Amino acid sequence: MGHHHKPKQSYPSRCHECWLHTDYCLCGILPRLWSPLKIVIIRHVSERYRSSNTGRVLGAMLENCVLLDLGDKHSPFPADRLLEFPESQVLYPSPKASRLTPQTPVPFSRDTCRTLIVLDATWRQARRISRRVPSVASLPFVTLPSGPPSSWPLRSSPTPDSLCTLEAVGRAFDALGFHQESLLIDQGMRTARERLLRMRGLSNHSSLESCP
């Protein structure tokens, strides 16, 4: 869980961008796109070196994306950066969240949501961030319409419809009517999944709960 803040010395051959073994490096094979919304990824620092992390994959795909680390003892969370994005909303299923659809009234419509903030962490960490980080907790929250279960098999999640960061952003694009971008995100997710499963010597979705 949250205790591996340092790269593991036992993986000297990992790519330091995507954190996969160099033989399976994702860099250069993911689709690249210009996101229709500014995406700000708030990543818990414990995700930084986990190959199963999809915030990093998302960051590698989106040209206009900001990645902020939270929880690093040595560098405090740059909460001021969030002020650069005045019309921002947090994608997290909190009780106060509005459902994201192209029809939802302002200020939650496609035309007014300029920045989507995504929490890239374990569910437990994300819940804590959504409640206890004032610069995040004070923002409006949005959640996704119900949809198919997660197809990212590499992380345990509280319920089957708990999505990984990459899937959540793809679904958000879809809900807001950005279908082409949603398809590209999905394509990138499948590419990353295939590489990661092969790296772990697995060809299917079974027994993947114990990930580094």
- Residues forming contacts to Zn ion in the complex (CB under 5 A) are 15, 17-18, 25, 27
Closest to Zn ion by CB, 27 or 32: 27
Least separation in angstroms between residue 47's CB and Zn ion is 16
Residue 211's contacts (CB-CB under 8 Å, 6 or more residues apart) are: 50, 51, 52, 154, 155
Amino acid at 22: T
**Token pair for residue 159?**
């319920």
Please, what is the minimum distance in Å from the beta carbon of residue 197 to Zn ion?
16
Q: CB of 24: closest distance to Zn ion in angstroms?
A: 8
Of the CA atoms within 13 Å of residue 75, those in its CB half-sphere come to 7
β-strand pairing of 38-44 with 65-70: parallel
By beta carbon distance, the residue nearest Zn ion is 15
CB of 25 to Zn ion, least distance (A): 3
Is the Cβ of residue 23 or residue 161 nearer to Zn ion in the bound state? 23
* CB nearer Zn ion, residue 14 or residue 44: 14
Per this entry, what is the length of the chain? 212
**Burial degree of 152 (CB within 10 A; 0-12, 13-18, 19+):** buried
Nearer to Zn ion, 15 or 79 (CB): 15
